[in-house]
Structure 1
Amino acid sequence: MPKINGNEIRPGNVLEHNDGLWVAVKVSHVKPGKGGAFAQVEMKNLRNGSKLNERFRAADKVERVRLEQKDQQFLYEADGMLVFMDQETFEQIELPADILGERRPFLQDGMTVTMEYYENEALSATLPQKVTCRIVETEPAVKGQTAANSFKPAVLDNGVRIMVPPFVSQDEDVIVNTETMEYAERA
């Protein structure tokens, strides 16, 4: 694995530090009046989610890790475990349902998910950016209400509550952005 200098760390870099895998969340370069410059790095542990603030000087060497990305197809859920299939080898893998966090309700049967691996260990899963969902409950449109900056609450078929424009009605399909968990457009 390549080693990089402390001042070369960028947000999104995955680093091996203190016997753990960390992703750099925020990086700010500080040049104090006295002493040498350093990079103040806020990191998040990929395995347990803990956070750490660390200072790296330009002379400090850090191990940069490259994660392997594979597309996996979601098959089913059993006993709190999600079962995925590798689309090239047809090998099946079980991962805990909490690997997706709050985006778990958007996972649909047969959906292709991008997994990030480090030496055969699945660290994270990313859903497609846009998912189609059906609205099961929302208020009817109020006559005379304009679409300019007015939204109403709605419940999707997966139980997630989002805000939608007033022209969207019940039993309609909408496209939801899974990163921001917000309404994107009509389907």
Structure 2
Amino acid sequence: MKINGNEIRPGNVIEHNGGLWVAVKTNAVKPGKGGAYNQVELKNLIDGTKLNERFRSAETVERVRLEQKEFTYLYEQGDSLVFMDAESYEQLELQKDFVGDRSSFLQDGMTVTVELYEEKPIGISLPDQVTLTISEADPVVKGQTAASSYKPAMMENGIRVMVPPFIESGERIIVDTNEITYVRRAD
């Protein structure tokens, strides 16, 4: 779908210079001399490079609609992660580095959203929060002030997170997968 350059908004995905770009920031500029333009900060969806472009209102760009599908995480196979389409039961294999550091948060049966462009995966989103068990937690140091009393703890997936002093080994906690931070105790 073609849109004018001044209609680009943050979050829009456009085709530009032969690649797929997502608009991160936009700023409508009306200089005293010359025509108005839209200053857009773009991020490449494939390799993550950034670019600043000016789009005049007379210019048109191709806005791309990404298909979002739900997949269920099945298992790890070497350097690949195997997912299953929730509707068609077709399997999708993605490289671990495509998912990135957050791959350690994947749990059997977890539902993830995969963004597809022309049936090719270009992005993946995990749930914002996951429940994990603490495998080891440092003991509380007596005399610590209440303000800075968070202590390091190791979760079952091998990632360290700072937790309050009352959290002990074996407890289940909820962790934010974006910030990799403690949220609260699990019920």
Corresponding residue for residue 31 of structure 1:
30
Tell me, in whole angstroms, the C-alpha distance in 2 between the residues paired with 1:144 and 1:169. 18
Deviation per CA, 1:72-122, whole angstroms, max 9, x where unpaired?
A: 011111121111111111111111111222211111121111111111001
Matches within 5 A, 1:97-176: 97-143=96-142, 145=144, 147-148=146-147, 150-176=149-175
Tell me, in whole angstroms, the C-alpha distance in 1 between the residues paired with 2:166 and 2:6. 50
Corresponding residue for residue 54 of structure 1:
53
% identical equivalent positions: 62
Deviation per CA, 1:142-182, whole angstroms, max 9, x where unpaired?
A: 34656545422222111112111122112211000112211
Unmatched runs of 5 consecutive residues or more in structure 1 = none
Tell me, in whole angstroms, the C-alpha distance in 2 between the residues paired with 1:185 and 1:131. 11
Q: Which amino acid aligns with 2:134?
A: I
> Higher mean Cα deviation, 154-163 or 25-34?
25-34
Unmatched runs of 5 consecutive residues or more in structure 2 = none
Deviation per CA, 1:33-56, whole angstroms, max 9, x where unpaired?
A: 222222221111112222211111
Corresponding residue for residue 82 of structure 1:
81
**SS class of match (1:59):** coil
**SS class of match (1:95):** strand
Q: Which amino acid aligns with 2:13?
A: V
Aligned-residue offset at 1:11 = 1.2
Contact 1:117–1:123 (CA under 8 A) maintained in structure 2? yes
**SS class of match (1:158):** coil
Aligned residues: 186
Tell me, in whole angstroms, the C-alpha distance in 1 between the residues paired with 2:7 and 2:93. 36
**SS class of match (1:100):** helix
**What's the RMSD between the two structures over aligned residues?**
1.6
Q: Which amino acid aligns with 1:26?
A: K
Tell me, in whole angstroms, the C-alpha distance in 2 between the residues paired with 1:136 and 1:32. 59
Corresponding residue for residue 4 of structure 2:
5
Contact 1:147–1:165 (CA under 8 A) maintained in structure 2? no
Corresponding residue for residue 93 of structure 1:
92
Moved runs in structure 1, 4+ residues, more than 3 A? 142-150
Contact 1:3–1:61 (CA under 8 A) maintained in structure 2? yes
Give the TM-score of the pair, scaled to structure 2. 0.92
Q: Which amino acid aligns with 1:69?
A: Q
